[in-house]
Amino acid sequence: MTLRHLLRFAGALLLVSASGLAFATPPRAFTATYRVLRDGSPMGEATVSLKALGNGQWEYSKHMRGTAGLAALLGANLDEVSHFRWKGDVPEALSYDYRLDAAIKSRQRHVAVDWSKHQVTVDEGKGAITYATQPGMVERNTTALAIGMALRDGQKQIALPVAVRQAVETQRFKVTGKEKVTVPAGDFDTVRVDRTDADRGFSAWYAPDRYPLPVKLSQKDGGNLTMELVSFR
């Protein structure tokens, strides 16, 4: 191999390596706040944050507080905390804790992932359920972040293995168009993403060149809820 060929080969390797590093760069730690509406009326506020814990682990949390209407009257609070590791640009699940507290009911769920045993354990206080892991598996709390990372990488159709109560199910999402969206944080040119594998009424609007989270999210499963971005830092 001549010197010219060696230089070309080295340059090609450098380009591939640099592209790979950029492709798999995780987002920086952030805190985002949202206003939450139910059927178009203010219901509460949510804070979503991401931070590095060290040793390759990250924490992604969502804290929602009822501040208006029935949610405030019932003192409804929702806390979700996920621990994960990055596998490329996928937030691969390590654990997930869900807790809902309100005057009339409370609910909790703990999900633990043992990758050495390839086992997921789900406990809602009524006896644990176990099932097999899948590589690149996320859970319900980190799904929005996983979609945002896939969009940042240019994907238009996204299939995510998601750990739910009794199994890992493949959830499918698709970019269905571009729309201008106005939320408290401002005006955004967004791509709209809809879930396509089930009639769950999930739609989200992302500005993937700016944020890894949606600027607006609408979900009808469990109530006609909308989250609109207020600030991101």
pLDDT above 90 coverage of the chain, percent? 70
**Is the predicted pLDDT of residue 91 greater than 60, yes or no?**
yes
pLDDT for 222 equals: 56
Q: No. of H helices and E strands in the chain?
A: 3, 15
Residue 7 belongs to what H/E stretch? helix 3-23
Q: What is the DSSP string of 128-153?
A: -EEEE--TT-EEGGGHHHHHHHHHHT
The predicted model scores a pTM of: 0.85
User: Rounded CA gap, 91 and 137, in Å?
Assistant: 8
**CA geometry: angle 4, 8, 14, nearest 5 deg:** 145
- For 11, 16, 17, 219, the CA distances from 4, given in Å and listed in that order, are 11, 18, 20, 57
Is residue 194 within 8 Å of residue 169, measured between CB atoms? no
| Tally of CB atoms within 10 A around 122 | 20
Strand partners, 61: 49, 81
Q: What is the DSSP string of 38-92?
A: ETTEEEEEEEEEEEEEETTEEEEEEEEEE-SHHHHHTT-EEEEEEEEEEETTEEE
User: Rounded CA gap, 175 and 195, in Å?
Assistant: 9
Q: Tokens representing 70?
A: 């029935």
What is the arithmetic mean of pLDDT over 50-69?
A: 90
**Mean of pLDDT over the chain:** 86
Give the confidence band of 223 by pLDDT, cuts at 50, 70, 90: low
Closest by CA to 123, choosing from 103, 104, 143, 97, is: 97
Closest by CA to 102, choosing from 138, 131, 65, 128, is: 65
| pLDDT tens digits, 147-185 | 999 999 999 999 999 999 999 999 999 999 999 999 999
**Is the predicted pLDDT of residue 76 greater than 80, yes or no?**
no
Is residue 79 within 8 Å of residue 62, measured between CB atoms? yes
Strand partners, 181: 188
pLDDT for 101 equals: 85
Give the confidence band of 68 by pLDDT, cuts at 50, 70, 90: low
Domains of the chain, residue spans? 3-232
Q: What per-residue string of b and e applies to 142-161 under the rule 16 or more CB within 10 Å gives b? A: bbbbbbbbbbbeebeebebb
Q: Which residue has the higher pLDDT, 100 or 201?
A: 100
